[in-house]
Structure 1
Amino acid sequence: MLSTAKKLLRTLTALAIPLTLLAGPASAARAGEPAAQPAADAIQWLSVDGNQIRDEDGRPVTLRGVSVLAPRHNAECGDCNPKPISELIDMSVDAAGGGWHSKVLRLPVTEWAPNDSLPLAENFARHVDPYVQQAIDLGIYVIVDFHRVQNYGDGNGGVPQSIVKEFWDYVAPRYAGVPNVIFEVYNEPLAPTNWATWKSYITPVVDSIRQVAPDNLILMGSPNWSTMVNEAAADPIDDANTAYVYHLYPNQGPSSVANLDQKFGNASRSIPVILTEFGWNPAGEFTDPAVTQGTTKCWGNGLRNYLDERPWISWTAWVFDNYWKPQMFDKNWNLLGGDHQGQFVKDWLGQLKDHNQPGTDNPPGAGDDLGVPPSRTGIVVDNTSPGYSDSGDWTTADTAHGFHGVDYKHDGSGTASAKTATFTPDLPASGRYNVYLWWSPNSNRTAAAPVSITHAGGTAALTVDQRTGGCDWGLLGTYDFTAGAGQKLTLSADSPGYTIADAVLFEPADGTDPGTGEELLVNGDFAAGLDPWYSIGRATPGTPAGGELCTAVAGGTTQTWDALIGQDNIPLTSGGQYALSFTASTSAPAAHTVRAAVESTDFPHPTQLDAYPRLTGEEQRYTYVFSPTDSLDAARLRFQLGGQAQPYTFCLAGASLTRRN
């Protein structure tokens, strides 16, 4: 923390910003106007105290903000709609009313760009000074980031120490005495992946900075893409005002407490840690599948909970852009929401805009929005709970994104087996309960995990597609239960693909049934005849009677789609929880399967639900819970009935498709 004498000195030095900085334009949008000096009381110096960053009065400070694109690269995307960096900076701090509330800006500085090479002085005059001055004008902190992603040292294609020192010998005196400016000495040194080697390489650079800029906060990266904070905690840099950088992406594993503790959380108990890069987006054009692919529900929520519970860890999210991945906007500057990170980070910054900010005590309510509130509450039976049991050899794991608790179990083989997992609650009172299942999704999961729920009125059978959805409570249904431990949910592993046994929630329904959402099928009880149901191929529907439609299916078909009935114009929202239910039977002498698919009408018809009910001569009720991967204005439901050598009759009744959340 700063002494009283140093506080007084701060007032004087803040007014003595180097003329080389103040001679530049205030921002790219304000060229020609005189640059404004920061007011003496506009912003406080930051300093390290143990594992915490603090302001001049000793208050804890949590820096939260975003990184922008390196300004020299702002016009590289040929099909993007670029915005000036100055406009992005204004957006990020709500200067333009956008609601972002970033309190720190990370400004990457690159000395290279395609087909371009600039001397430092010209680079700063064009691409750095205007934006540093803009941050000063806006009253926020700005991280000047030496944005190299490269080996270091004289060998192995590394950056010689002289290059790094030359950069900071130019930068440090330029911004010395400016409390807004923070120095990130090297974005991501790669190899050698040895902390002692890195410390020997970078210490002379720090010493050189301190000769001219004794008060600016320094952020210290580390080898292996700035991930060696555990080694730094054991042998820190000999500088009293240095915090340590960690860069985190979904390829490093789940956002679970155990994993993040191992990555940087344990180190943050003894040294100050700041995540100057993290980010995610789901599969698609806005992510790198090898590094940044993840979802808000399965990865972002866990990270926020972890960081909000540890406010001594500061952060800047990557990246406030529409081009570099994982971006927060599409190419036309529409904010990416849902399982993309943009809306999530914006809400996070807005909710905590007054929490742990320098120069002021936390106002009432500043910490009310710490963490992501649980979506549901009730009686939870986890795979580690006393009410859990299984048969067969289940495998315990903790590597998938988005599991519940400390770990989960899977059937270990991905092939159909007789293994079962049973969740038995000890219910405090009789009544109606909503029953939910939690699983971690993946493309290698089962498409139809059989679930049976034993309740006061009997047993309900349904299947769950564990390839999608998950990472939250998925509603299976609402049932009557009696108090005690006499009822259960059993999950079977007799469907191809890995079956996940993680957690079940029994939520008192309080007289409501969250499963009775809007009905999306029309005429599912066939009371109005056949319309709008239709048939294609070698399927001939009869006249509905008694709420049932029976369809004659010709023999000799080879593909399931050779004979089908269906219905179109079904709206679906990506990430929602849906349930398809129906009663069906067959006239065939032997049991056989048909395909029930909910899919896009657009080629190649991506499937949102792919189920294979096994039919017998007796009527059975089938329920399939699924979560669409795509938002569709007009999806279609099709019962594909072909692929049978002999003709038969397929009877359908009580068809229903509802959204459950």
Structure 2
Amino acid sequence: MKITIFFLVILALYIDISVSLDAGQETVSKHGQLSVSGTNIVNQNGNIVQLKGMALYWSQWKPQYWNEETVQGIHDSCHSNVVRASMGIDTNDGGYLTDPDGQMKLVETVIEAAIKHDIYVIVDWHEEKAETHVTQAVDFFDKISKKYGSYPNVMYETFNEPTTQSWSEELKPYHEAVIKAIRANDPDNIIIVGTGQWSQRVDEAAEDPITDQTNIMYTLHFYAGTHRQWLRDLAQGAIDKGLPIFITEYGTDNVDVVNAVDAEESQLWWDWCDSNNLSYANWAICDVAEASAALIADTPTDKVCQEAYLTESGLLVVAQNKK
């Protein structure tokens, strides 16, 4: 009997150490180079990996959080293994098209902080009409992939949220052009491509996926109070057809980000994501007056994700990242 109890204790300790669900412990040094196998992300050993983390707010509006302290907080206190660098593009107040050098510096700061703090980073071209800026997007991703493509930390998100564009006639050719530029420098890291209707129409991509490429995933976005079972059903259909999906942005509230957090619907989404081994990044690390904001007003960068500085949404998300 004593031997049996001893064995069970040792087994329990082993399971606890080796199968951690806390995303903060599932880092780059553990999993290394990621790739896509079927509908799953797998690590350097071919084992399924789930990324859970946080998205930074528009770079031109909340640049104070685009620094190493914030990235460290996202890892250590938000229990994340991925940060999304949501670089604003088509704006008149400091986005990439008006301030490429300043925005590039912010992105590089976040990438280098992610490398230092052992987490993955999604470099996001954050706009809604990227097909009109192909030249600029190709140039940007060429530069990023040349400089950082050798690091397993880096992933590329080529187009945040298309709106009414045709998948086959506009979006797919745009993605293919950017993918070509990235693959010239980085043959391996995962590339995530935006889908129609604010990155909801993964069904369209499932009918006409990008071919002759590896390690490509497709974006799905949701805001729990607005997008409910109908979107999960649509996405499940795409997954069942073999489409690999990455939820690079989600909110716990309505899509207008002003209504209250919907904890019940958020949990339904998380349960569905986990059942499909989907990775997800929460919108957003910011202190603006929006229900989706993870931080209370005037949160300093050295307090990012600490419990006393989290909103209702932030508290729910961090608890989920630890499960």
Q: What is the TM-score with the length of structure 2 in the denominator?
A: 0.79
Aligned to 1:232: 205
Tell me, what secondary structure is at the counterpart of 1:56? coil
Residues 1:279 and 2:270 aligned together: no
Asked if structure 2 preserves the Cα contact closer than 8 Å seen for 1:48 and 1:240, the reply is yes
Aligned to 1:266: 237
Aligned to 1:86: 68
Q: What CA deviation, in whole Å up to 9, does each residue of 1:68-119 have, x standing for no partner?
A: 12333226xxxxxx6664322221111xxx3x21000101112455543655
The Cα shift of 1:217 comes to: 0.7
Tell me, what secondary structure is at the counterpart of 2:184? helix
Q: 1:297 to 1:187 in 2, by over 3 A?
A: closer
- Structure 1: which 5+ runs fail to align? 1-39, 76-81, 154-158, 282-286, 352-661
Aligned to 1:246: 220
Using the alignment, how far apart are the partners of 1:294 and 1:131 within structure 2? 30
Among 242, 255, 261, the alignment partner of 1:295 is 261
Q: 1:275 to 1:83 in 2, by over 3 A?
A: closer
Aligned to 1:208: 181
Residues 1:138 and 2:117 aligned together: yes
Amino acid at match of 2:44: E
Q: What CA deviation, in whole Å up to 9, does each residue of 1:456-483 have, x standing for no partner?
A: xxxxxxxxxxxxxxxxxxxxxxxxxxxx
Aligned to 1:306: 272
Q: 1:280 to 1:204 in 2, by over 3 A?
A: same
Aligned to 2:12: none
Equivalent pairs counted in the alignment come to: 282
Asked if structure 2 preserves the Cα contact closer than 8 Å seen for 1:74 and 1:85, the reply is no
The Cα shift of 1:48 comes to: 0.8
The Cα shift of 1:131 comes to: 1.4
Superposition map of 1:310-349 within 5 A: 310-311=276-277, 313-323=278-288, 325=290, 326-333=292-299, 334-337=309-312, 341-349=313-321
Using the alignment, how far apart are the partners of 1:202 and 1:167 within structure 2? 13
The Cα shift of 1:192 comes to: 1.9
Using the alignment, how far apart are the partners of 2:74 and 2:126 within structure 1? 20
Tell me, what secondary structure is at the counterpart of 1:204? helix
The Cα shift of 1:320 comes to: 1.7
Q: 1:236 to 1:294 in 2, by over 3 A?
A: farther
Residues 1:123 and 2:98 aligned together: no
Superposition map of 1:548-587 within 5 A: none
Asked if structure 2 preserves the Cα contact closer than 8 Å seen for 1:105 and 1:140, the reply is yes
Alignment RMSD: 2.4
Using the alignment, how far apart are the partners of 1:146 and 1:297 within structure 2? 29
Amino acid at match of 2:123: V
Using the alignment, how far apart are the partners of 1:262 and 1:196 within structure 2? 25
Q: Percent identity between the aligned chains?
A: 25
Q: 1:85 to 1:296 in 2, by over 3 A?
A: farther
Using the alignment, how far apart are the partners of 1:43 and 1:118 within structure 2? 37
Using the alignment, how far apart are the partners of 2:154 and 2:91 within structure 1? 24
Tell me, what secondary structure is at the counterpart of 2:221? strand
Using the alignment, how far apart are the partners of 2:126 and 2:40 within structure 1? 25
- Structure 2: which 5+ runs fail to align? 1-27, 300-308
Aligned to 1:172: 145
Asked if structure 2 preserves the Cα contact closer than 8 Å seen for 1:250 and 1:291, the reply is no
Among 96, 104, 125, the alignment partner of 2:82 is 104
Q: What CA deviation, in whole Å up to 9, does each residue of 1:262-301 have, x standing for no partner?
A: 23122123121111111134xxxxx76x466353333212
Aligned to 2:23: none
Q: 1:224 to 1:292 in 2, by over 3 A?
A: farther
Asked if structure 1 preserves the Cα contact closer than 8 Å seen for 2:225 and 2:261, the reply is no
Q: 1:324 to 1:106 in 2, by over 3 A?
A: farther
Asked if structure 2 preserves the Cα contact closer than 8 Å seen for 1:145 and 1:187, the reply is yes
Aligned to 2:196: 223
Using the alignment, how far apart are the partners of 1:261 and 1:309 within structure 2? 12
Amino acid at match of 2:288: Y
Using the alignment, how far apart are the partners of 2:65 and 2:104 within structure 1? 19
Q: 1:58 to 1:43 in 2, by over 3 A?
A: closer
The Cα shift of 1:324 comes to: 6.9
The Cα shift of 1:161 comes to: 2.2
The Cα shift of 1:43 comes to: 5.2
Q: Say which structure is richer in helix.
A: 2
Among 55, 58, 62, the alignment partner of 1:70 is 58
Using the alignment, how far apart are the partners of 1:292 and 1:233 within structure 2? 32
Amino acid at match of 2:273: L
Asked if structure 2 preserves the Cα contact closer than 8 Å seen for 1:68 and 1:320, the reply is yes
Aligned to 1:16: none
Aligned to 1:184: 157
Higher Cα radius of gyration: 1
Using the alignment, how far apart are the partners of 1:299 and 1:310 within structure 2? 17
Superposition map of 1:404-553 within 5 A: none
Amino acid at match of 2:128: V
